[in-house]
Amino acid sequence: MNELMRVAKWYNNQDVRVEEMPAPRIGPGEMLVRIEASGICGSDVMEWYRIDRAPLVLGHEISGQVVKVGDGVTRYKKGDRVAVAHHVPCNTCHYCLNGNHTACETLRKTNFDPGGFAEYVRLPAINVDRGVFLLPREVSYDEATFVEPLACVLRGQKRAQVQPGNSLLVVGSGIAGLLHIGLARALGAGRIVATDISDYRLAAAKKLGAEAAFQAREDIPARLRSINEGRLADRVIVCTGAASALAQALASVERGGTVLLFAPTNPGVVLPVPVNEFFFRNDVTITTSYAGSPADYQTALDLIRAGVVKVRPMITHRLSLAEAGLGFQLVADARDSIKVVIKPQR
């Protein structure tokens, strides 16, 4: 392997440069993985979240092939096809022992080196121990980039207690919203309604399992009542950080229902909630979700392998490392793309 490798280094959403940097060297318990596919996540284009740390090599939705294993690694070998978790828990702290693995301090500090928009990444020993998932032959590298986001969606629906027969409103039909639609449909949800400001994404939502898809500017509560026998949605999943979407979600949840805030907002956004009306009188639950546990990753991979959640149709763009800047623009624009996958080996 060459001593230098190519990376797509992020300075901001309009400035992504292909540069060279030293290829990572591994130590005991570690592994080196050649990246075959890396998805661009909506969080990758949240400039406010990471601009003060730029430049960065981003990318955490990765799949690839093991090219080198360190001393002591026995579960994996050169040539293995893998998906990899960038954040992994300690499994021993208060949060982990109570089933809240994504609240674990270790999970929030772990990562691989340098990031998925590179030719190679080094997996620290803790990631090798609990964050590597062997790919079945039925799952392509491109499909494996969905393991991480689907794991997050799985945890979110568990938090929201989505049950078979529940009516669902998914606010925002980007990749997260479409995965929520696909999972809910596969697990037996009732009527699923999607919203977005993009007609392109609304069409994708209907293609991938939504019974109805409406422009976000419409009167969504009225639309829901017209097709849900006078009721609102049992579960509302918010997959956009727009303040207007939060207000719309609160107006669209049925008595006894749950609102899942799945996407972060811009800094400083405050959610005004009438306590008596929502919590006391209408028994509405508002919950959140962050990341996914190793068990969620494995379940997500199993669902993809079985074709329960069909992810291949969600891929709209496959780009080379040199085209990463275009990929970031497509995702930041959030209109005429769904899943953008970077292929560093092209």
Helix (H) or strand (E) holding 27: none
What domain range is 252 assigned to? 161-288
Structural domain includes residue 156: no
The verdict on 88 and 225 lying in the same domain is: no
For residue 128, what is the domain's CATH number?
3.90.180.10
Q: In this predicted structure, what is the pLDDT of residue 77? A: 98
Q: What is the DSSP letter of 24?
A: P
Structural domain includes residue 273: yes
Q: Which of 61, 28, 59 is nearest to 45 (CA)?
A: 59
C-alpha dihedral (209, 210, 216, 220), degrees to nearest 10: -160
Flag whether pLDDT at 1 surpasses 80.
no
The verdict on 316 and 234 lying in the same domain is: no
Instruction: Note the pLDDT tens digit of each residue in 277-305.
Output: 889 999 999 999 999 999 999 999 999 99
Structural domain includes residue 102: yes
Q: Which of 159, 194, 193 is nearest to 173 (CA)?
A: 194
Start-end of H helices in the chain: 47-50, 94-97, 105-109, 125-130, 141-144, 147-159, 175-186, 199-207, 220-227, 243-251, 275, 294-306, 324-333
Q: What is the mean pLDDT of the chain?
A: 96
Flag whether pLDDT at 264 surpasses 70.
yes
Q: Token pair for residue 300?
A: 């997500």
Q: What percent of the chain has pLDDT over 90?
A: 96
Q: Give the position of tokens 């005004």.
A: 272
Which of 273, 288, 303 marks a domain boundary? 288
Q: Give the position of tokens 């809240």.
A: 100
Residue 68 phi/psi, 5-degree rounding, is -160, 140
The verdict on 122 and 250 lying in the same domain is: no
This prediction's pTM:
0.96
The verdict on 146 and 186 lying in the same domain is: no
For residue 168, what is the domain's CATH number?
3.40.50.720
Poorest-confidence range of 73-77, 142-146, 333-337, 338-342? 333-337
* Confidence label for 2 from pLDDT (cuts 50, 70 and 90): low
Instruction: Note the pLDDT tens digit of each residue in 5-17.
Output: 999 999 999 999 9
The verdict on 174 and 323 lying in the same domain is: no
Q: In this predicted structure, what is the pLDDT of residue 69? A: 98
The verdict on 305 and 248 lying in the same domain is: no
The verdict on 136 and 170 lying in the same domain is: no
Q: In this predicted structure, what is the pLDDT of residue 24? A: 97
* Confidence label for 335 from pLDDT (cuts 50, 70 and 90): confident
Structural domain includes residue 38: yes
For the chain, the domain total comes to 2
- What is the mean predicted confidence (pLDDT) over 35-46? 96
